[in-house]
C-alpha cells in the first residue's frame, strides 16, 4: 500500500481489480464447487488486510486469530442462544465484538513493540483458545458450535442459492474493506502508523502519540479480522476453537507475506493461492497441502521478497522496459 509515486499505474490497477472481482463473481456460476472456495478466499483476504495494517507499523501479531475467532463465535453464540439470525446482524455482531476485544486488549499491547508485541498477542490468543476449548458447557469444546444458515436482508435462501448470495455479499465486503483500508493508509493516521515502523522517535518529536496511533490501527485490524471471522463461520457453518489457535494466526501472517504485505491486492492474491492449494492438495494429493504451502512460502521469501504482487509488478516493469 505504498502510495504509488506514479499515478499512471492506478488506472491499470483499478482495471485489474475489477477484472478479478468479475472473474470471482462469474467463475462459480460455471463451477459451483468454487462458490464456497472463493467466498473463503475473499473472507480470509479481509482478515489478512487487518494483519497487513499492523505489518505497516512493523508489528507482527502472532495472535490475531483471536479476533477471527471472536468474530466467528459471536455469530455462533447468537445462533445458539437467540435462534437463527440475519447475515447483516451477524456481520455487525462479529465485527463489533472483535472491535471491542481489540480495544481492550489493544490498550495493553500497544505499549510494546516487536517481539514483546508479538508475544503478548500470542499469549492473549492462547488464553482465549484454552477457554474456547475447555469451557465445554458453553462452547462444545473442540467440536465447536454449528452456525445455522442465516437469512440475508430478511430473505431465506435455499442452500444452492445461498452460497451464491453469500459469495456476492462477501465480494462486496472485500472490495469495500480494501478501499477503506487503502484510504486509511493514505490518511494522516495511516501515514503516522507507517512512520512507527521507520522512526517512532521522530514521530514522538513531532508531537504525536505513537501509542494512540498504533491503538487505532490495532482496533481497525481487529475489526477486519472479526468481520472476516463472521463471514467464514457462516460460510463453513461452524465455529471451532481452532479458529483461534496460534497456527491460524501464523497462517494469516503467512498469507500476508505470500501475497505481498504492501498492497490490498496482495491480501487476496495470497489468500487465493493459499486456499486453492489447500483445496486441491487436500483432495487430490493425499493430504500434503501443508507441505506444499510450506515449500511455496520458503520459495517466495527466498526468491520474491515482495510476494506474489511483487512478481506481478516486476513483470510489468520488465514488459515496459522492453517496449
Partner 1 sequence: MDSTIFILALLDGVSYAALVFLVSVGLSLIFSVLRIVNVAHGSLYAYGAYVAATLSLAVAPISPWLTFPALLVASVAVGVVVGGVMERFLLRPVYGREDVLQLLITFAVFMIMDNLQRLIWGVQPIFASTPLKLLPNVSVLGVSYTSYQVILLPAVALLTVLGLRYFLRHTLAGAVILAVTEDREAATAIGVDARRVFLVTFMIGASLAALGGALASPTTSLVPGMGADMIVLSFAVAATAGLGQIEGAAVTALMIGIARAFVIYLQPEFEVLVPYLIMVLVLLIRPMGLFGVDKVRKI
Partner 2 sequence: MSAPLLQARGLEIRFGGVVAADGVDLDVIEGENLAIIGPNGAGKTTFLNISTGYLKPLAGTVTFLGQDITRLPPRAITRLGIARAFQIPQLFLEQTVMENMMIAAAARSGETSGWRRLLDRPEREEMLRLLDSVGVAAFAERRAHELPEGQRKLVDIALALALKPRLLLMDEPTSGVASSEKMGVMDILVAALAREKVSSVFVEHDMDMVERYAHRVAVWSSGRIQTVGPPAQVLGDPEVRQRVIGI
Which one, 75 or 257, has the nearer CB to partner 1?
257
Work out the number of other CB atoms within 10 angstroms of the CB of residue 243: 25
Cβ(48)–Cβ(255) below 8 Å: yes
Which one, 215 or 239, has the nearer CB to partner 2?
215
Minimum distance, C-beta of residue 190 to partner 2, in the bound complex (Å): 7
Of 192-200, 278-286, 297-305, 308-316, which part binds partner 2 (CB under 8 A)? 192-200
Write b or e for each residue in 98-122: b if 16 or more Cβ atoms lie within 10 A of its Cβ, otherwise e: bbbbbeebbeebbebbeeebbebbb
d(CA 253, CA 291): 17
Q: Name, in order, each residue with C-beta under 8 angstroms of 192's C-beta and a sequence gap of 6 or more.
A: 203, 208, 210, 213
Instruction: Tell me if 7 contacts partner 2 by CB under 8 A.
Output: no
Residues 199-218 that bind partner 2 (CB under 8 A): 199, 201-209, 216
Site for partner 2 (CB under 8 A): how many residues? 28
Minimum distance, C-beta of residue 20 to partner 1, in the bound complex (Å): 25
d(CA 164, CA 181): 25
Residues facing residue 296 across a β-bridge: none
For 242, the grid coordinates are: 481452532
Q: Identify what 195 binds: partner 2, partner 1, none; CB under 5 to 8 Å per kind.
A: partner 2
d(CA 228, CA 65): 10
Phi, psi of 245 (to 5 degrees): -75, 155
Which one, 129 or 184, has the nearer CB to partner 1?
129
Q: Identify what 289 binds: partner 1, partner 2, none; CB under 5 to 8 Å per kind.
A: partner 1
Q: Identify what 297 binds: partner 1, partner 2, none; CB under 5 to 8 Å per kind.
A: partner 1
Q: Identify what 74 binds: partner 2, partner 1, none; CB under 5 to 8 Å per kind.
A: none
Cβ(155)–Cβ(163) below 8 Å: no
287 to 316: interface string for partner 2, x by CB under 8 A: ------------------------------
Q: Figure out which of the listed residues 10, 198, 247, 290 binds partner 2, where binding follows CB under 8 A.
A: 198
Instruction: Tell me if 187 contacts partner 2 by CB under 8 A.
Output: yes
For 255, the grid coordinates are: 498469507
d(CA 2, CA 11): 16
Which one, 3 or 148, has the nearer CB to partner 2?
3
**Terminal alpha carbon distance of the chain:** 27
Which one, 11 or 207, has the nearer CB to partner 2?
207
Q: Identify what 253 binds: partner 1, partner 2, none; CB under 5 to 8 Å per kind.
A: partner 1
Cβ(227)–Cβ(71) below 8 Å: yes
Q: Name, in order, each residue with C-beta under 8 angstroms of 117's C-beta and a sequence gap of 6 or more.
A: 59, 60, 61, 109
Q: Give the binding site for partner 1 (CB under 8 A).
A: 55, 60, 62, 108, 111-112, 114-116, 118-120, 122-124, 126-127, 130-131, 133-136, 201, 245-247, 250, 253-254, 257, 286-291, 293-295, 297-298, 301-302, 305
Site for partner 2, rule CB under 8 A: 2-3, 5, 183-184, 186-192, 194-195, 197-199, 201-209, 216, 220
Amino acid at each position: 500500500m505504498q502510495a504509488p509515486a506514479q499515478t499512471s499505474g492506478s488506472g491499470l490497477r483499478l482495471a485489474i481489480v475489477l477484472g478479478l472481482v468479475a472473474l470471482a463473481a462469474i467463475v462459480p456460476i460455471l463451477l459451483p464447487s468454487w462458490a464456497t472456495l472463493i467466498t473463503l478466499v475473499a473472507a480470509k483476504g479481509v482478515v489478512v488486510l487487518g494483519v497487513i495494517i499492523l505489518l505497516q507499523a512493523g508489528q507482527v501479531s502472532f495472535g490475531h486469530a483471536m479476533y477471527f475467532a471472536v468474530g466467528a463465535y459471536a455469530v455462533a453464540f447468537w445462533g445458539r442462544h437467540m435462534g437463527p439470525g440475519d447475515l447483516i446482524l451477524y456481520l455487525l455482531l462479529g465485527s463489533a465484538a472483535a472491535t471491542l476485544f481489540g480495544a481492550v486488549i489493544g490498550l495493553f499491547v500497544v505499549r510494546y513493540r516487536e517481539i514483546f508485541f508479538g508475544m503478548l498477542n500470542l499469549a492473549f490468543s492462547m488464553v482465549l483458545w484454552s477457554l474456547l476449548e475447555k469451557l465445554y458447557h458453553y462452547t462444545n469444546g473442540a467440536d465447536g458450535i454449528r452456525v445455522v444458515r442465516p437469512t440475508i436482508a430478511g430473505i431465506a435462501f435455499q442452500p444452492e442459492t445461498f452460497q451464491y448470495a453469500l459469495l456476492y455479499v462477501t465480494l462486496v465486503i472485500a472490495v469495500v474493506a480494501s478501499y477503506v483500508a487503502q484510504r486509511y493508509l493514505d490518511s494522516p493516521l495511516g501515514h503516522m502508523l507507517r512512520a512507527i515502523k521507520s522512526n517512532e522517535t521522530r514521530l514522538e518529536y513531532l508531537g504525536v502519540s505513537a501509542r494512540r496511533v498504533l491503538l487505532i490501527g490495532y482496533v481497525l485490524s481487529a475489526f477486519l479480522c472479526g468481520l472476516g471471522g463472521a463471514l467464514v463461520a457462516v460460510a463453513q457453518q461452524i465455529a471451532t476453537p481452532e479458529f483461534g489457535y496460534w497456527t491460524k494466526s501464523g497462517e494469516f501472517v503467512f498469507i500476508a507475506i505470500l501475497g505481498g504485505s504492501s498492497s490490498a491486492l496482495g491480501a487476496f492474491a495470497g489468500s487465493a493461492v493459499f486456499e486453492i492449494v489447500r483445496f486441491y492438495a487436500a483432495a487430490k494429493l493425499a493430504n500434503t497441502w501443508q507441505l506444499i504451502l510450506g515449500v511455496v512460502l520458503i520459495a517466495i521469501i527466498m526468491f520474491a521478497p515482495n510476494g506474489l504482487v511483487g512478481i506481478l509488478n516486476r513483470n510489468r516493469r520488465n514488459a515496459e522496459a522492453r517496449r
